[in-house]
Amino acid sequence: MRWGVDVDGRRAGSGRGAQVPPATVARLPRYLRALEAVAAEGGVLTSSDELAARVGVTPAQLRKDLSFLGSYGVRGVGYDVAHLREQVRAALGLADERRVVLVGVGNLGHALANYAGIPERGFALVALVDADPRVVGTTVAGLVVQPADRLADVVAETGATIAVLTTPASVAQDVCDRLVAAGVVGVLTFAPAALRVPPHVDVRAVDVASELQILAFHEARRAAAGEA
Amino acid sequence: MRWGVDVDGRRAGSGRGAQVPPATVARLPRYLRALEAVAAEGGVLTSSDELAARVGVTPAQLRKDLSFLGSYGVRGVGYDVAHLREQVRAALGLADERRVVLVGVGNLGHALANYAGIPERGFALVALVDADPRVVGTTVAGLVVQPADRLADVVAETGATIAVLTTPASVAQDVCDRLVAAGVVGVLTFAPAALRVPPHVDVRAVDVASELQILAFHEARRAAAGEA
DNA sequence: TAGATTGTTAATCGATTAACAATC
DNA sequence: TAGATTGTTAATCGATTAACAATC
């Protein structure tokens, strides 16, 4: 089985907003957040200037990004907040709720299971799985933690398509393989390990230590420049 | 005070590897991780092929990335694992330990404070700060949690230059401003809020809900393509 | 030497920016 | 109409890829 490290997946997909560039996709959630903030403040109409300022991008970039989804503004007027919000939500596939399984209920997994952002933004946490017998059977975030050997069943029973991986790095690839075999097509991993997945599966990796190291790089550069 | 949303900061910085592209910088931690894995397995010599396979990039990209740091391989032979590892560590500014302060000792902050990756990879967690009186004074990860009004003092006393922000989004900008005023130059935030910082400060934002939404986008696209 | 593997160049590709015509 | 703001175009910029000469 020849598995690439993702990418690819460029199905033609005709019609409306067929091919949204990856860089644009990565910014859509931030636009959605800004739109929700404006709506919460009672804003009915907004502009690329206002949204861009909130998000921290240029107005030109925001307009270009939105243009990949369709033409939802009115020239000379701006964007209807509620309407644009729905369009962005739809583009992100949040029209119907996505079911998420979380594997690895340690410190971090525990925190993420309770993380306010998840249930509120289009996702339903439907199952928790852990290998530790002391954790299995306990209730976290209203769910009973399932044993690792039930992983495939749990995915099948709940219909989860997205997984959050908060296991130790040493078992991440194995767990990932089993999740994919069970039907998961999107994986958000916090384990510091490169995951190999088949082309139809999407992986997003968050590595706290890497993020800190990137910050350290810039700090070192500044220090070197300052002393020079 | 006219604050941009970061970027800029392109000091000339003469000499060795003066300007490493941002995309390359973002991959250096993964190269370092791969090198450490090879070293742990007893590897003495490695190649761009082996490292690239471990990281999940092409050998050409890895070689090009490393070439920005200097010329540390030997043609026809490969790379000395220990030597290259030290060079990458040095490039990332991990020669001396970076001091990190964590603000917001909730579920997520608690988990991150104990997170194995942090102390082991060039960072020392030197202080914890929280606004909740029930949390202040407790000991987490070997540190006594300090009250929010001591934030500036804590940064000054510990010499922390990097902050991890795990507060609610509503207070993130305020806390960030105070951290920056106290001398922090790098911020890793988990709060779902765009942070405005002066140009000399670096922000990395991790947003779990955004990551899930990006996965949802790709899933929706695949579903739409599959049904078409 | 022959085989292997780097470092670098040139070509391609994708993303960002700026400007402005279209249009309310 | 005059003023405002989008959607789109063209130019610029940066990142990736492929190929290969340099060199062990």
Beta-carbon contacts of A25 under 8 Å, excluding residues fewer than 6 positions away, are B214, B217, B218
pLDDT for B6 beyond 60: no
Please choose, from the candidates B159, B134, B157, B158, the residue with its C-alpha nearest in 3D space to the C-alpha of residue B147.
B134
Q: Residue type at B49?
A: D
Which tokens is B193 given?
């809020």
**Cα–Cα dist B17/A53, whole Å:** 34
pLDDT for A223 beyond 90: no
* Domain span holding position B200: 98-210
Torsions phi, psi of B41, nearest 5?
A: -85, 5
Answer with the one of A91, A107, A141 that is the final residue of a domain. A91
Mutation target to probe the B interface, by most B beta carbons within 10 A, among A7, A217, A227 is A217
As ranges, strand C nucleotides with an atom below 7 A of a protein CB are 3-9, 14-19, 21-24
pLDDT for A106 beyond 80: yes
pLDDT mean over B208-225: 90
Same domain, B76 and B111: no
As ranges, strand D nucleotides with an atom below 7 A of a protein CB are 3-9, 14-19, 21-24
Same domain, B81 and B132: no
pLDDT for B37 beyond 50: yes
Least confident of A80-89, A174-183, B113-122, B192-201: B113-122
Which chain B residues are closer than 8 Å to A5 by Cβ?
56-57
**Cα–Cα dist B165/B157, whole Å:** 19
Torsions phi, psi of B177, nearest 5?
A: -55, -45
> Per DSSP, which regions of B123-196 are E strands?
123-130, 139-140, 143-144, 146-147, 162-165, 186-189
- B9 assigned binding-site residue: no
pLDDT for B11 beyond 60: no
Residue B54: CATH number of its domain: 1.10.10.10
pLDDT, one tens digit per residue, over B150-159 is 999 999 999 9
Answer with the one of B52, B68, B91 that is the final residue of a domain. B91
Which chain B residues are closer than 8 Å to A106 by Cβ?
111
Answer with the one of B91, B111, B127 that is the final residue of a domain. B91
pLDDT, one tens digit per residue, over A108-142 is 999 999 875 566 788 999 999 999 999 999 999 99
Which tokens is A148 given?
């690792």
Question: Does residue A63 approach strand D to less than 7 Å at its CB?
Answer: yes
Same domain, B134 and B196: yes
Residue A192: CATH number of its domain: 3.40.50.720
Q: What is the 3-state secondary structure (H, E, C) of A110-134?
A: HHHHHCCHHHHCCEEEEEEEECCCC
Which tokens is B3 given?
């604050």
CB contact under 8 A, B215 and A108: no
Number of separate domains in chain B: 2
The answer to whether residue A133 sits within a structural domain is: yes
- Start-to-end CA distance of chain A, whole Å, equals 53
Per cent of chain A over pLDDT 70 is: 89
